[in-house]
């Protein structure tokens, strides 16, 4: 982002925004969940899969690459797809937090929560980002997508610290402001053929998919498949597919109680020994060590 634009955006921020919660969540097929009154401005995005998100009574489809910034005290319902349930990331920001009060790194999800209506936590005006704001990431290397993922990982794997979470909140808001100002949709969408190939891979993580399979699906040559992945993801198709499988496996290890064998089966590696060796090669840790070190939600 242009430094002068970032500086001007930061100067327009009112209050003292801070990230108070950030996590990943893998929905089960057809799973439904609703939070009736969330006291935050939540940045929500879909990393894979699909489903429907209903915000304050208005439904919209939600699939890989989509993002939405939700209004203060929003009512949100999630309806996961029956075949390819979405895997989402969420970052909760308190737009204006009193500097005199300690930060509680938690969010009120309903009016009965002990944090609901707490003095010192309130909404604030963000020019151009009032109400519900929607958009799409430009691709795997989209700066806002990388920043959002970094915030979640930082929040999950280190003790949240006020100063850092304030800086990250301000940076994310600045990137959002830039995205909204740069284009009404937030970002230039991927080519339709690439999006179709990627959605097919995400919908069938247990299948062995060849480059020819992708070419037939997109009705293009194998060379074109390679060009599209390199241009938008900076990865070869095979490397991108491998990354999706390992990311899904890691997510299942962190967020479910599936056995290592069952996780391997979900990503197309039925032999637990083969899966464990593959996972360790990609991450540097065995599935058991990875799960023990991070736990699951």
Q: Which domains does the chain have, with CATH numbers?
A: 3-182 (2.60.120.280), 192-294 (1.10.10.60)
Q: Is 4 a residue whose pLDDT tops 70?
A: no
Rounded (10°) CA dihedral 289, 295, 268, 52: -160
Q: Is 2 a residue whose pLDDT tops 50?
A: no
Tokens coding 230: 């390199």
pLDDT digits (tens, 9 = 90+) for 198-257: 878 888 888 889 999 999 999 999 999 999 998 877 789 999 898 888 878 887 887 678
If we measure between CA atoms, which residue out of 148, 202, 171 comes closest to residue 9? 171
Angle between helices 222-233 and 237-255 (to 10 degrees): 60
Tokens coding 107: 């969010």
15: pLDDT confidence band, cut at 50, 70 and 90?
Answer: low
pTM: 0.62
Query: What percent of the chain is helix, strand and coil (3-state, nearest 5)?
Result: 40, 20, 35
Q: What is the 3-state secondary structure (H, E, C) of 167-208?
A: HHHHHHHHHHHHHHHHCCCCCCCCCHHHHHHHHHHHHCCCCC
Neighbours of 231 (CB within 10 A): 12
CA angle 291, 296, 297 (to 5 degrees): 170
- Mean pLDDT of all residues in 247-269: 85
Q: Is 288 a residue whose pLDDT tops 60?
A: yes
Mean pLDDT taken over the chain: 85
Write down the pLDDT at residue 159: 87
Percent of the chain exceeding pLDDT 90 equals 45
């Amino acid at each position: 982002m242009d430094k002068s634009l970032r500086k001007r955006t930061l100067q327009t921020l009112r209050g003292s925004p801070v990230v108070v919660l950030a996590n990943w969540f893998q929905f089960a097929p057809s799973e439904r969940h609703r939070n009736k009154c969330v006291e935050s401005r939540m940045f929500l995005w879909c990393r894979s899969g699909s489903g429907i998100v209903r915000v304050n009574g208005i439904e919209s489809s939600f699939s890989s690459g989509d993002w939405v910034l939700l209004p203060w005290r929003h009512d949100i319902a999630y309806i996961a797809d029956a075949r390819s349930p979405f895997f989402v990331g969420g970052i909760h920001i308190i737009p204006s937090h009193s500097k005199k009060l300690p930060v509680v790194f938690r969010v009120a999800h309903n009016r009965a929560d002990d944090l609901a209506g707490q003095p010192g936590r309130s909404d604030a005006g963000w020019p151009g980002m009032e109400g519900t704001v929607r958009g799409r990431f430009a691709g795997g290397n989209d700066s806002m997508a990388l920043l959002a993922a970094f915030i979640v990982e930082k929040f999950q794997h280190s003790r949240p610290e006020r100063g850092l979470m304030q800086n990250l909140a301000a940076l994310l808001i600045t990137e959002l402001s830039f995205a909204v100002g740069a284009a009404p949709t937030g970002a230039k969408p991927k080519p339709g053929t690439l999006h179709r190939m990627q959605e097919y891979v995400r919908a069938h993580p247990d299948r062995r998919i060849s480059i020819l399979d992708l070419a037939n699906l997109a009705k293009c040559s194998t060379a074109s498949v390679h060009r599209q992945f390199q241009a938008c993801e900076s990865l070869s198709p095979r490397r991108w597919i491998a990354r999706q499988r390992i990311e899904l496996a890691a997510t299942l290890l962190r967020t479910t109680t599936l056995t290592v064998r069952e996780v391997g089966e979900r990503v197309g590696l039925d032999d637990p020994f083969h899966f464990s060796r593959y996972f360790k090669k990609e991450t540097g840790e065995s599935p058991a060590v990875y799960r023990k070190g991070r736990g699951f939600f």
